[in-house]
Amino acid sequence: MDVGNNYNQILSNINRISNNIKLIVVSKTFSINHLKPILDLGHTHFGENRVHESIDKWTNLLKENNNLKIHLIGKLQTNKVVEAINHFSFVHSLDNEKLAIKISKEENNLGKKIKYFIQVNIGKEVQKSGISIENSSQFIKFCVNELKINIHGLMCIPPANENPNKFFLKLKEIANFEGLKNLSMGMSNDYLEAINCGANYLRIGSAILGTRSNF
């Protein structure tokens, strides 16, 4: 698989529509060696699912390259909040009050703030994480006004076997109502639809890196 060529093709597809979009290459489970062609091309935004896997993989490179931005796109447990704040630039999975309170407390303790997307359970799926649509407005205000968390935008994962557009547009509607400008939505199979619905952060893995492997 030509990872570099895949990356350039995806980037070309994105830039034909807009050049104001952040491409997050979902690097979870892939080794740095597999990612090297993309790193060599100067890409800086990567997405990981697990806190400890990401720390083990990226810590040395982060010391060498201040431009790297690592995004936590998987669920964040409260017992890993301190490690996450110290390691990641973005967390895409803020999804409950307990976690938000823990983040606010530890950011104050550490004297450090990073950027967060609130995950909305846009398809009302019981098996998925995310704040409910009905509670999203109250939760956003709680995080911003009371906890002073840097809410960068909203994130969603639409139901797998449905047309994603109505879910993407619903997330955009919520974001617009709350005055949030950033939307993390769209993956390998639906990123073009997501862009057309207002996404400006895309999480793309398999279309660039191929089938996931363990290392």
The residue length of the chain stands at 215
User: To which residue do tokens 């363990």 refer?
Assistant: 214
Q: Identify the three-state secondary structure at position 8.
A: helix
Taking only the tens place, the pLDDT of each residue in 146-163 is 999 999 999 999 999 899
Query: Rounded to an integer, what distance in angstroms lies between the CA atom of residue 100 and that of residue 50?
Result: 18
User: Among residues of the chain, what percentage have pLDDT more than 90?
Assistant: 95
Q: What is the pLDDT of residue 215?
A: 43
Per-residue HEC secondary structure of 127-179 comes to CCCCECHHHHHHHHHHHHHHCCCCEEEEECCCCCCCCCHHHHHHHHHHHHHHC
- Class (C level, CATH) for 3-209: alpha beta
- pLDDT for 213 equals 61
Confidence (pTM): 0.96
Distances (CA, A) of 7 to 13, 31, 69, 196: 10, 16, 17, 20
Beta carbons of 56 and 34 less than 8 angstroms apart:
no
Domain boundaries, the chain: 3-209
